Structures are given as C-alpha cells and as structure tokens.
Structure 1
Amino acid sequence: MDKRNVRQRIINLAIKQIRTAGYQSISLRKLMSKLHLTTGAFYKHFRNKSELFYAVFDQISTQIYINIYDQVGGLVDSNPKKALYGVAKILLDYFVNEPYLVDFFLYNSQIENGHDFLKGGQAVVNIFDLIRLILKNLIEQYQLAVTIEELYVQAWAFLNGYGMLLRNGIITVEDQLIKKTITMLIKGQKSHPE
C-alpha cells in the first residue's frame, strides 16, 4: 500500500470526524480501527496526534483559502470593501454550516500557534495575509486613520461575535447588517483633520 495514500486516508478520516463530531472526539485507536489499521501504522506517518492535527489544519486552511480566493481574489485591489464583505459572508457561512471545522480552525488549543507553525507561503498564512491585504487596501482607499492591526482586530471581533450568534441560532444571516457594519467600520476610522 502506498505510504502517501495511507497518510492521506488518515487525514481525510480525521477531517470527516472533525466535521461531524468535533476535534475533541478524535481517538487514534478508533480512527485507525475505522481504516482497518493499527495504531502502529499511525506512528509510521505521524509522530503524534498534534502532528496529525497540523496536517489536517494545513489541508483545511488550503480548502478555505481556495474558497475565499476564488470568490474575492479579483476584488482585493479594485474593491476592498466588497472583498471584505465577500470574506465575511464566506467565513460566516462556515460558522453556520461547518461549526466543528470553525472550532478546529480558530479555537483549537491543540494547534497552539498553528498560524505561526504553517509559515512560508502555506495556505493558512495566505488566508490571514489576504485579509490583511484587503484591510491595507481599505485603509489606503478610504484614507483611514487606523493601523492594519487595529482594523484586523475590529473586523475579527465582529466576525467572531456574529459567527457565534449565528452558530448558536440566536440570529440569522442578514446581508444588510454585514454591509452596514463594514460601512460603519470604515466610517469610524476616517481621517479627521486636526
């Protein structure tokens, strides 16, 4: 059996398990049993569960990045406000339709410094770099008096808060609310003559 095929089968099953029951439900013994393999076979491909999670993290982040870039990549320079709206819609959709994936990707303590781990052009860096580029372009286009980091925190605070409300069924997606919030975010950061 091809070693890469076994490694990918382990990753694929872990992703499936994460999507349906959450990353906390991953048991190496049960995972390998479903693949009709031993835990010894697992250790031929991964040093430990954390290494598996990093591989899963990389694959999931690649899928999310491709999804985002396919939909908003052409707007990043020409219309960063619309690009930010597109990113918000996509990420909020993940909160609603892939809640366990969001938990794994954004809130997984077992992927400590996961965003730092996958450096060097890997997809996870690209997702957050793409968002930073959109915000940089917003700052330049609208002449905002804010740093990228400040705007980044404000944008993520909105997305995470709204996403959690959606995920818990407290509210539903309202396009106008997203658009209005982005507009208010921009207006609140406009340069004011002193």
Structure 2
Amino acid sequence: MNPDNKTLPSDDELYNDYLKGKQEAGDKLMLRYGDALTSYLFYFIGDYHDAEDLMLDSFAAILVRKPKIGAGCFKAYLFKTARHKACRLWRKKLKQSEFSLPDDIISEEASPEKKTVIDENISSLHKCLNLIPTQYREALWLKYAMDLSYDQAAQIMACSKKKIDNLLSNGKKTLRKELEREGITRYEI
C-alpha cells in the first residue's frame, strides 16, 4: 500500500497480509470488526459475556485455520462463522435469543420528557421484535443495524439473496403490525 495514500487497507489486503505472516494485520481486522461482531452476537444470543467469547472464538477460528476467503467476503465469512458458533451455544444452553437495544441510543442532550418517550418507544420496539419470528428479527438486524448488504446477510444466514429480500419484507410487515398493536404509528422501517 502506498504510504502517501490515506485510505485504509481493505479487508482483503489485511487478510492476505495476515496470511503472509503479518500478525498486526489480524489485529487490525479484530479492531475493525470486533465491536460490531460482539454487538451482533449480543443481540443474537442476549448475553454480553458469551458474545465477547464467541467474537474471540470466531476470529480465532479464522486466524488459526486460515481458510481461503473470496475477495470482498471477509466480513460475511466472519459473521457467518460467528452465527454458527452462536447457534451451537444456543442449542447447548437451550436458550432463546433475546433482542435488546443499547442504552446509548438515547442522546445525552435529550430532555427528560424526550428520554421518557424514547425509552417507551425502545421498550415497545424491543417487545415487538421479540414477538416476530427469529429469522425476520435476524434479517432486520443484519440489514439495518449492522448495515450489511443483501449478499452479506444471505451469506451469514446461509440462504439466498431472494430469501433475505422476502425475510426483510415480511419482517417489516410483521413488525409494523406488532408496533401498531402497541399503539406506535410513527416509525421508519
């Protein structure tokens, strides 16, 4: 990479550098995706400590095994690996996933009244998300919270791009109905 170029190295460049023995490239990938992956796993399984452990296990699985990963697919491969590990943990604990929203969504500058309204809306959204099927919830999370493409979400969920489109469409419809039952009519989904 050109030292004068201020752009960050791509995932492919970092992973290839790691495969060539540059340990710091693996560290950079962990810094780039560690928090996002932990958040995804937390929302998928509902336990922060398990999410952190699974994040580390997922990176370890890739960085130790050093699988061949297609160009532009590192993030999707990482999240798919993490999803498989979370599913195994889920089965092991026989625990349903719990979807929750972080407290830091609420702005520090919001008035107490606005914070109360936001808290109530987040609580209602949380409740409604837990009422919709898990596949809908996960597809919505991957696309909108994690800002993944349809292709990346499809790779992670081990399904076709068309199925992701259907899951998102049906998930939004189902979520809208649940939100309306809760009395929330202003939403952007």
When the two structures are superposed, what TM-score results if normalisation uses the length of structure 1? 0.31
Larger relative contact order (CA 8 Å, sep ≥ 6): 1
Structure having the larger proportion of residues in helix: 1
When the two structures are superposed, what TM-score results if normalisation uses the length of structure 2? 0.32
